[in-house]
A and B are shown apart, each in its own frame.
Chain A
Amino acid sequence: MTAIQRHAVFSLIVIGISVVLFALGLVGGLATKASGMLGLLGFLGFAPLFYRKRPSGAVVVDERDGAIILRANAIAFSVLWLGLVAAGMTTYFVRGDAGTVPVRALPVAIYLAWALYESVRSITVLARTRSEDFT
Chain B
Amino acid sequence: MSAKREQLSNELRRLRFEAGELTQQQLADRVGVTRQTIIAIEANHYAPSLLLAFRIASSLDRKIEEVFSYAPGRNGRK
Q: How many A residues face the partner with a CB closer than 8 A?
A: 14
Query: Which single member of A2, A61, A133 contacts B45 (CB below 8 Å)?
Result: A133
| Inter-subunit contact B52/A63 (CB<8 Å) | yes
Complex interface: chain A residues within 8 A of B64 (CB): none
Give the complex CA separation of A131 and B39 in angstroms. 11
Fill in one digit per residue for A64-75: 1 if any B CB lies within 8 Å of its CB, else 0: 110000000000
Give the complex CA separation of A86 and B47 in angstroms. 37
| Inter-subunit contact B36/A129 (CB<8 Å) | yes
How far in angstroms is the closest Cβ of chain A from B20?
Answer: 21
Q: Which of A86-135 contact B (CB under 8 A)?
A: 129, 131-135
Query: Which single member of B28, B29, B37, B43 contacts A63 (CB below 8 Å)?
Result: B37
Give the complex CA separation of A50 and B16 in angstroms. 30
* Total CB contacts across the A-B interface at under 8 A: 43
Chain B contact surface mostly:
loop
Complex interface: chain A residues within 8 A of B48 (CB): 63-64
Give the complex CA separation of A81 and B55 in angstroms. 40
Complex interface: chain B residues within 8 A of A133 (CB): 40, 45
Give the complex CA separation of A134 and B37 in angstroms. 10
CB of B70 closer than 8 Å to a CB of A: no
| Inter-subunit contact A134/B29 (CB<8 Å) | no
Residue of A nearest to B32 (CB): A59
CB of A58 closer than 8 Å to a CB of B: yes
Complex interface: chain B residues within 8 A of A65 (CB): 34, 37
Among the interface residues A65, A134, A135, which one has the most CB atoms of the partner chain B within 10 A? Answer: A135
- Chain A contact residues, CB within 8 Å of chain B: 2, 58-59, 61-65, 129, 131-135
11 A–B contacts from the bound complex (CB under 8 Å): A2-B34, A59-B33, A63-B37, A63-B48, A64-B34, A65-B37, A132-B39, A132-B45, A134-B40, A134-B45, A135-B47
